[in-house]
Amino acid sequence: MAARKTFARFFLHFVIIISLIIWIVPTLGLLITSFRPAEDVNSTGWWTVFSSPLDFTNYTLDNYLQVIRAGGMNTAFKNSFIITIFGTLLPVLIAAFAAFGLSRLNFKGRSFIYALIVSLLVVPLQLTFIPILKLYNILNLSGTFTGLWLDHTAYGLPLAVYMLHNFFQSLPDDLFEAAFIDGASIWIAFVRLALPLSMPALASLFIFQFLWVWNDLLVALIYLGGSGQVAPLTMRLTNLVGSHGQDWHLLTSAAFVSMIVPLIIFFSLQRYFVKGILAGSVKG
Amino acid sequence: MKRCVALLLVFLLISGIGVFAKDTVTVMGVWGGVELEAFEKVMETFEAATGIEVEFEGTRDLPTLLTTRIEAGNPPDIIVLTGLGLMNDLARDGVLVELSNVLDMDKFAEEYNPIWRELATYKDGLYGLYISADVKSLVWYNPKAFEANGYEIPKNWGELEAHSKKMIADGNIPWSVGMESGAASGWPGTDWIEDIMLRTAGPEVYDQWVNHDIPWTDARVKRAFEIFGNIVKDEAYTWGGPIAVNATNFNDAIAPLFMDPPQAFMHRQASFITSAIREANPGLVAGEDYDFFPFPPIEEKYGTPVLGAADMVSLLTEKQAAKQFMRFLATPGAQSIWVGELGKIGVNKRINPNVYPDELTAKMAAVLQDAIVFRFDGSDSMPGAVGSGAFWTGIVDYVNGEDLDSVLEYIEAVADETYTGGAATD
């Protein structure tokens, strides 16, 4: 019995490790390529460095220096931050209110509104470009950060509401009953009870939305128009490459430069995933 | 929490106001990298002289973005087009501003080869201004490697064939070809076909083919594909054979010529390739380490025609500042900055040959100024679905080993669907 268990375990680990390796190979290739000189990138594959991995003439920081020194990179970083921070906070905040209302308050048409919001999940983004841009031209919102925040909020809301609604629904009813008996208003129940308890859900939602907005190129291109003043990092990075794909090797280092921020966000919020805040909250 | 929301709202309001208050000219195009840097220099010169701000919006997905913005009533002031097809479409839809009232037409007639006016005309109206060109019918070689091996420059197709056989006998590979270009993969192959068509069937048939007056399944089109296929599908003729042809980026495909020892000896590519050579091998000297000869004539009666491509700007709005920028772009001064940076060829006759980075480019400029038989890149002139769609994928499939007849039938089917005119359209 014990031997079989060990074997099953070994097999499981084996499968996990193999799939991990398969999963990580492209990223590893990208990382190695980003440190190789342009000529090498164009003449041989990244795996050739393994024949002499300690030969440091194989590596260079040029690609990174070129990306970082490219004109307008500071503005692009700043723009990306401005866009992403509000493009993430707004939908998460609004979704939290909406999801709480939809899951914990009783009012007529509740499930209809919820179904309507969730059904918006299937509307393709591209379908909305022209009508919204027309509206923005009337409202003078095209080419502004505000317009883009509203876009990202709107595009992010259906999924956010859906996720948080499910999470709030899973919170024990007893908890809220107890709170109301103790005299808590709905507002207090939301701020003091629901929000802290749903930290893991909020954090994962935050990360999802952050990644989506940070990596977005299309929406920004359509609504901001791509001029240097307001262009986010993604737009600046695609402009490093020529119209026929020249200098594509710069994209490898550019990918890692733009990856830094999402990685910081991910690792700093990771503990919220792990923490089981809910555990023990209904005891006693 | 409430304060937080209030702060957010205030911030939203403030940032909504004022970002786009200034009078600016927006230019949309596909340029990036070195092209963008060069154009920024042109923009800076204009800004310094007039105080008008010019914003460049770069996107690789120009047609999609442009359509969206036009539909939404928010078009850029000026667009940079690389294809005639898109210009004709936009002019037909009435989106473009006619330029004969914008530019000084006397000066224009004086400073430009009439080719450029004809090429930008749609139904008697001038809708595009050419600012630079690339000559495509060039074969690049490494003079030192040629000399070391005793190879000579072929003057016609027969000599080229004999020449290639000699290289193969020496254990060398004659050609290096690369067609990879992301979503645009295949276009370098289309240039080959066009050059061969001009040389085997002549300019008239070439025009008929581009306008779809003859079908893709025509024997003359098929022959051009076969001549191309005989070269690139043979590992003895082309470095790495068909797999490398489809997998190598067009900019990297010239690299084998400068390896030690050279892995290949000839590379057919447009004039812009000089900037790729300079970037990858800064030590090479134009004229000594790399040089070009015209893509040799095949049928004697059609001679050595020039196939080219060009960058064109079109005006979309009536904004005065945008018109001023268009007039500026027509001047030799503006074009000198642009072509000097990139190794492209200026189209204004008054450009000083000294602005070109090397003698080679000046030599190409002279070739273009004197061109009598000149044809615009065929795939750029065809409707998008064919010229930058089926033709590209078709040629990749053909190199991949697909049957030629079925490839041509496939392109023909797409052409039937997309062409609105053309005698061969069913």
Reported residue count of chain B is: 426
Residue B23 contacts A, CB cutoff 8 Å: no
Task: Determine whether the interchain pair A140/B16 forms a contact, defined as Cβ–Cβ distance below 8 Å.
Answer: yes
Q: Which CATH number fits domain A71-274: 3.40.50.620, 3.40.190.10, 1.10.3720.10, 1.20.58.100?
A: 1.10.3720.10
Suggest the residue from B20, B31, B44, B342 to mutate for an interface test with chain A (most A CBs closer than 10 A). Answer: B20
More confident residue, B162 or A70: B162
Q: Which CATH number fits domain B25-135+308-376: 1.10.240.10, 3.90.550.10, 1.10.10.60, 3.40.190.10?
A: 3.40.190.10
- Give yes or no for residue A199 having a pLDDT over 90: no
- Give yes or no for residue A281 having a pLDDT over 70: no
> Which pLDDT score, from 0 to 100, does residue A279 have?
44
Question: Which of A54-63, A251-260, B166-175, B377-386 is predicted with the least confidence, judged by mean pLDDT?
Answer: A54-63
Distance from CA of A6 to the nearest CA of B (A): 46
Residue B68 contacts A, CB cutoff 8 Å: yes
Cα Rg, chain B, nearest whole Å? 23
Q: Which residue in the block uniquely carries the two structure tokens 């091996």?
A: B149
Task: Determine whether the interchain pair B15/A238 forms a contact, defined as Cβ–Cβ distance below 8 Å.
Answer: no
Angstrom distance (rounded) from CA A186 to CA A202? 19
Q: Which residue in the block uniquely carries the two structure tokens 């749609």?
A: B122
Q: Which residues does chain A have within 8 Å of residue B251's beta carbon, measured at their own beta carbons?
A: 42, 244-246
What are the C-alpha distances in Å from A108 to residues A102, A111, A171, B58?
10, 8, 22, 49
Q: Which residues of chain A are at the B interface, by a Cβ-Cβ cutoff of 8 Å?
A: 38-39, 42-43, 71, 86, 89-90, 93, 129-130, 133-134, 136-137, 140-147, 149, 191, 221-222, 225-230, 235, 238-248
- Give yes or no for residue A7 having a pLDDT over 80: yes
Q: Which residues does chain B have within 8 Å of residue A247's beta carbon, measured at their own beta carbons?
A: 33-34, 279
Task: Determine whether the interchain pair B252/A43 forms a contact, defined as Cβ–Cβ distance below 8 Å.
Answer: yes
Mean pLDDT to the nearest integer, A191-207: 87
More confident residue, A59 or B343: A59
Q: Which residues does chain A have within 8 Å of residue B278's beta carbon, measured at their own beta carbons?
A: none
Residue ranges of alpha helices (H) inside B248-309 are 273-280
In chain A, pLDDT over 70 holds for what percent of residues? 93
Task: Determine whether the interchain pair B36/A140 forms a contact, defined as Cβ–Cβ distance below 8 Å.
Answer: no
Q: Across the interface, which of B32, B37, B72 has its CB nearest the CB of A238? A: B32
Distance from CA of A43 to the nearest CA of B (A): 8
Q: Across the interface, which of A42, A191, A243 has its CB nearest the CB of B32? A: A243
Comparing C-alpha atoms, which of A47, A39, A76, A96 is closest to residue A214? Answer: A76
> Which pLDDT score, from 0 to 100, does residue A228 have?
67
> Which pLDDT score, from 0 to 100, does residue A280 have?
45
Distance from CA of B109 to the nearest CA of A (A): 30
pLDDT string in tens for chain B (426-residue length): 555 555 555 555 444 444 444 578 999 998 888 888 889 999 999 999 998 989 888 887 888 888 888 988 889 999 998 767 788 889 999 999 999 999 999 999 888 888 788 878 888 899 999 998 888 899 999 999 999 998 999 989 999 999 999 999 999 999 999 999 888 899 999 999 999 999 999 988 998 999 899 999 999 999 999 999 999 999 999 999 999 999 999 988 999 999 888 999 999 998 878 878 888 888 888 888 999 988 999 998 888 888 887 889 999 999 999 999 999 999 999 999 998 888 788 888 888 888 887 788 888 887 787 776 778 888 877 888 898 899 999 999 999 999 999 999 999 999 999 988 888 887
Q: Which residues does chain B have within 8 Å of residue A221's beta carbon, measured at their own beta carbons?
A: 59, 61, 65
Closest residue in A to B81 (Cα) is A243
Suggest the residue from B26, B37, B252 to mutate for an interface test with chain A (most A CBs closer than 10 A). Answer: B252
Q: Which CATH architecture has domain B138-306+379-418?
A: 3-Layer(aba) Sandwich (3.40)
- Count A/B contacts: CB-CB distance under 8 Å: 132
More confident residue, B206 or A278: B206
Binned at pLDDT 50, 70 and 90, residue A55 comes out as confident
Q: Across the interface, which of B37, B82, B181 has its CB nearest the CB of A245? A: B181
What are the C-alpha distances in Å from A133 to residues A102, A127, A142, B95, B387?
30, 11, 7, 18, 30
For the record, the structure tokens of B370 come out as 């004197």
> Which pLDDT score, from 0 to 100, does residue A2 have?
67
Task: Determine whether the interchain pair A93/B57 forms a contact, defined as Cβ–Cβ distance below 8 Å.
Answer: no
Residue B260 contacts A, CB cutoff 8 Å: no
Buried b (16+ CB within 10 A) or exposed e, B297-321: bbeeebebbbbbbbbbbbbbbebeb
> Is residue B127 classed as helix, strand or coil in its secondary structure?
coil
Helices B332-342, B33-50: crossing angle, 10 deg rounding: 150
Q: Which residues does chain A have within 8 Å of residue B316's beta carbon, measured at their own beta carbons?
A: none
* Domain segments of chain A as ranges: 2-60, 71-274
For the record, the structure tokens of B15 come out as 């940032």
- The predicted complex's ipTM stands at 0.72
Task: Determine whether the interchain pair A143/B5 forms a contact, defined as Cβ–Cβ distance below 8 Å.
Answer: no
For the record, the structure tokens of A50 come out as 């393994």
Mean pLDDT to the nearest integer, A181-202: 88
In the chain, the amino acid numbered A90 is L
- What's chain A look like in SS3? CHHHHHHHHHHHHHHHHHHHHHHHHHHHHHHHHHCCCHHHHHHCCHHHHHHCCCCHHHCCCHHHHHHHHCCCHHHHHHHHHHHHHHHHHHHHHHHHHHHHHHHHCCCCCHHHHHHHHHHHHHCCHHHHHHHHHHHHHHHCCCCCHHHHHHHHHHHHHHHHHHHHHHHHHHCCHHHHHHHHHCCCCHHHHHHHHHHHHCHHHHHHHHHHHHHHHHHCCHHHHHHHCCCCCCCCHHHHHHCCCCCCCCCCHHHHHHHHHHHHHHHHHHHHHHHHHHCCCCCCCCCC
Q: Which residues does chain A have within 8 Å of residue B40's beta carbon, measured at their own beta carbons?
A: 71
Mean pLDDT to the nearest integer, A113-128: 90
- Give yes or no for residue A273 having a pLDDT over 70: no
Task: Determine whether the interchain pair B57/A141 forms a contact, defined as Cβ–Cβ distance below 8 Å.
Answer: no
Suggest the residue from B14, B19, B71, B239 to mutate for an interface test with chain A (most A CBs closer than 10 A). Answer: B19
Q: Which residues does chain A have within 8 Å of residue B56's beta carbon, measured at their own beta carbons?
A: 227-228
A-contacting residues in B 71-110 (Cβ below 8 Å): 71-74, 76, 82
Q: Across the interface, which of B15, B73, B76 has its CB nearest the CB of A146? A: B15
- Give yes or no for residue A83 having a pLDDT over 90: yes
